[in-house]
Amino acid sequence: MTKELYDIAEQPPLGIVPPKMHAWLIRPERFGKPTEAFQQEVVNTPAIADDEVLVYVMAAGINYNNVWAGLGIPVNVIAARNKAGEKEDFHIGGSDASGIVYKVGKDVTHVKVGDEVVMHCGQYDRNCAWVKGGGDPMYSPSFKIWGYETNWGSFAQFTKVQAQQCMPKPKHMNWEEAASYTLVAATAWRMLHGWDVNAVKKGDVVLVWGGAGGLGSMAIQIVKAAGATPIAMVSGQDKFDYCMKLGAKGCINRNEFDHWGMLPHWKDNAGYAKWMKGVRAFGAKIWEVLGEKRAPNLVFEHPGETTIPTSIFVCETGGMVVVCAGTTGYNATVDLRYLWMRQKRLQGSHFANTEQSNQMNELALRGLLDPCLSRAFTYAEIPVAHQLMHDNKHPHGNMAVLVGAKDFGLGASGKPPVAIERAALPKGDVHTTPHPYPMSEPLPSVAEAAAITIADDGTRVGDLMHRGIIACAPDDTLAQVAKTMVDHEIHAVVVMDGSQATGVVSQTDMVLARQGRTSEQARALLAQNIMTPGCATCDAGLLLSEAVSLMTGRRMHRLVVTENGQPVGVLSMTDVVRKIIGE
Ligand code: NAP
């Protein structure tokens, strides 16, 4: 007779599924840091649908996703599923796993009970019209990340997955190694192989950001296997050896450069020249490391805001910058001249489809992909592993936990067809950068907009603005405009062509005009040459919050205020700041 419940690591006879199972659960009432959010519980083993498989989990991979699931931000994954009609009031996370198939649905043909498998984390509705029509499931509105956006992930004795997620486990890997690589490796595979004309090919040069990180360590190996040349970016010399062993031709320490961050304004001659000097020196470093004057055909991106300007600049004409995250920020700046004149591609990429995941796994099966497991934990340590991630104290590389496996190092049953050199991370290497956001973030959609609430105290622009317009003529010199500003103690002057406002000269415009010019050259410039053309206006009746969004969205510090279409005053950021301090 089937036992009601088996202990952890007490494996039920093959194909025997107990009605209950041990699992680590997240519940809304204990959202918070991982050591509090995750609690061990016993729950009913889930039933499976016709296209699904129940896998006895031997080991599970650790990813940031479930740090966020435990915190309940930026989305409460449980509430999101309840809203969609699912009844469970808990979340079982885990988006990477190795295990043994224990039960299959009636439509499942490609795996059977007893198969040793690893799982990719892409789920979708097989009846979705887009998928049925042959479309890439990654574009299906039903696409979800298993064990984050879906329930019944791998932090439990049994996990419920779609059959298409199951892939053969590499025989030469132990359970924890096999559980650790799929999410990052499949993501890297799609980034590098998924974008038609720009897919990596023999002879290409590829710049890989975060070469010692989860994605980067997989990317180096995938690039190398394609016969291309990876160059690894890292933050310290101590990671060079690791990346070289994985297959990098050379490494660059990003801390030797300081031009990172958003682009200077294109009108800022001096700032732009300094940035250009930095990025050119960086380009020269790539040549030095490569041993030839070639630009990367692909740039493998995920830091985002601080590195995208550089990635786009150094990318070869006709090449591609492919990005799957914005770990340092989302508002990446682009000098469009380099994008259009050199016809480069900035391509977004997210996880991978079934076919791509399997193509990646072929590499693992052939022994050509080191899973880069940096640390393995016991089942009881699942919250601790996540807490280390939460505190940014976890090692680089991929981490895994044992679930059904009795001990570390078990489960390997063969030699790799190709033996690659095992790379070891530098001792004591831990993360120093802020937490990456979950790989799937809910994006605001038109339909959801109604649910967003905004606090607003009802202040109108007219309540705060300065009445009266101080103007200059288009052919006034900068010297004249500057005097007007100083005399009136204002930060901007409206340029009036007759009765028509044609632009604004702000203090920033003036300072930018001085950059890279002598004082005489700057003083002789005309208002019409340096003004920000067009006059951003708003009605005096507009809500202050909306006016602020207008200013920040257009990176400006003031608006010309109109009443009945006529300019009557100016609202500046200084006015808003005064209101904040209650002046
Ligand atoms: P990871 O293991 O933390 O590695 C990220 C690497 O980025 C670090 O090793 C670090 O290397 C480098 N880095 C950090 N700050 C940097 C900066 N300011 N400039 C340049 N490089 C910097 O993370 P991961 O697993 O590779 O994931 C990276 C990002 O991708 C995360 O945001 C993750 O959420 C996201 N992701 C997205 C998907 C998807 O499908 N969309 C899938 C997986 C992961 P150095 O300090 O050595 O430079």
Chain centre distance of CA 146 = 17
Contact 169, 101 (CB under 8 A): no
pLDDT for position 446: 61
Instruction: Report the C-alpha gap between 333 and 516 in whole angstroms.
Output: 22
pLDDT for position 466: 86
Residues forming a β-bridge with 98: 59, 118
Instruction: Report the C-alpha gap between 292 and 552 in whole angstroms.
Output: 44
pLDDT digit string, tens, across residues 410-469: 999 988 777 667 778 777 777 776 677 777 776 766 655 555 566 788 899 999 998 888
Q: Dig out the tokens for 494 from the structure.
A: 């409206």
Q: Dig out the tokens for 498 from the structure.
A: 């007759």
Q: Where are the alpha helices (DSSP H) in 493-563?
A: 507-514, 519-524, 527-530, 544-553
Instruction: Report the C-alpha gap between 223 and 231 in whole angstroms.
Output: 10
DSSP string, 46-73: PP--TTEEEEEEEEEEE-THHHHHHHT-
- The rounded Å distance from CA 265 to ligand 1 centre is 27
* Pair type for strands 166-168 and 116-119: antiparallel
Residues forming a β-bridge with 101: 55
Q: Dig out the tokens for 367 from the structure.
A: 């022994």
pLDDT for position 448: 54
- The rounded Å distance from CA 302 to ligand 1 centre is 6
pLDDT for position 490: 84
Instruction: Report the C-alpha gap between 61 and 398 in whole angstroms.
Output: 8
Residues sharing a CB contact under 8 Å with residue 379, sequence separation 6 or more, in sequence order:
8, 9, 401, 402, 403
pLDDT for position 48: 98
- The rounded Å distance from CA 436 to ligand 1 centre is 7
Using DSSP, state whether 474 is helix, strand or coil.
coil
Task: Give the Å distances, CA to CA, from 387 to 36, 38, 94, 356, 410.
Answer: 9, 10, 15, 31, 26
pLDDT for position 451: 56
What residue ranges of the chain have pLDDT lower than 50?
Answer: none
Which candidate, 277, 264, 349, 279, places its Cα nearest to that of 310? 279
Give the relative orientation of helices 544-553 and 573-580 as an angle to the nearest 10 degrees: 130
Q: Is 283 exposed, middle or buried (0-12, 13-18, 19+ CB in 10 A)?
A: middle
Ligand 1 atom closest to 64 (CA): 34
Instruction: Report the C-alpha gap between 403 and 81 in whole angstroms.
Output: 25
Contact 122, 174 (CB under 8 A): no
Mutate which of 182, 322, 433, 435 for ligand 1 pocket (most atoms within 8 A of beta carbon): 433
Mutate which of 65, 207, 217, 235 for ligand 1 pocket (most atoms within 8 A of beta carbon): 235
pLDDT for position 384: 96
Q: Is 527 exposed, middle or buried (0-12, 13-18, 19+ CB in 10 A)?
A: buried
Give the relative orientation of helices 507-514 and 478-488 as an angle to the nearest 10 degrees: 140
Task: Give the Å distances, CA to CA, from 135 to 19, 130, 261, 323.
Answer: 37, 5, 37, 22
- The rounded Å distance from CA 73 to ligand 1 centre is 19
Sign of CA dihedral 82, 86, 91, 95: negative
Ligand 1 atom closest to 145 (CA): 40
CB under 6 Å to ligand 1: residues?
64, 183-184, 187, 209-210, 212-216, 233-235, 239, 254, 302-303, 306-307, 324-325, 327-328, 350-351, 396, 431, 433, 436-437, 439
Instruction: Report the C-alpha gap between 575 and 461 in whole angstroms.
Output: 10
Buried-exposed string 189-222: b where 16+ CB fall within 10 A, e elsewhere: bbbbbbbeebbbeeebbbbbbbbbbbbbbbbbbb
Chain centre distance of CA 381 = 27
Contact 231, 205 (CB under 8 A): yes
> What's the number of CA atoms in the CB half-sphere (13 Å) around residue 286?
28
Buried-exposed string 236-267: b where 16+ CB fall within 10 A, e elsewhere: eeebbebbbebbbbbbbebeeeebbeebbeee
Task: Give the Å distances, CA to CA, from 227 to 162, 222, 245.
Answer: 33, 9, 16
Indicate the DSSP class of residue 30: G
